[in-house]
Amino acid sequence: MGLTQQLHDELGYDPDDGVPQVSDVLLAGMIPVGAVMRAREGAVPMAIARLGSGRLVVVEDECPHDGGRISDGFVDGELLVCARHNWELEVEGRRCRRATPCKLR
């Protein structure tokens, strides 16, 4: 077994895949207002964004709609928007919820 495979097996992710750790991104101050990026906390996929107000948020990188990556989306004011189906998401702690509930007809 190669070293990369052994690290993947022990850590649960490939440390050389180019996805930074949340702590490294926060220390570097790499997130401008309106940006969202992919990161990880250990093996857990995370999205880091700076909302329109300048508030920095770190959330699990999974849309509550269908599991798409929030980090593939964009910031719209104080909302995160999922790129897959344009769901507008509000941040609640380390998770997101849909900003506008679905209306049944």
Instruction: Give the total number of structural domains in the chain.
Output: 1
Assigned domain for 104 exists: no
DSSP lists the bridge partners of residue 56 as 50
Residue 38, both tokens: 């992919």
Assigned domain for 85 exists: yes
Assigned domain for 36 exists: yes
Q: Give the tens place of pLDDT for each residue, 23-44.
A: 999 888 889 999 999 999 988 9
Assigned domain for 75 exists: yes
Boundaries of domain holding 22:
3-98
Q: What CATH number corresponds to the domain at position 63?
A: 2.102.10.10
Q: What span, in angstroms and rounded, lies between the C-alpha atoms of 105 and 20?
A: 44
Assigned domain for 103 exists: no
pLDDT tier, 105 (very low <50, low <70, confident <90, very high otherwise): low
Assigned domain for 52 exists: yes
Assigned domain for 105 exists: no
Three-state SS at 82: coil
User: Is the pLDDT assigned to residue 7 strictly greater than 70?
Assistant: no
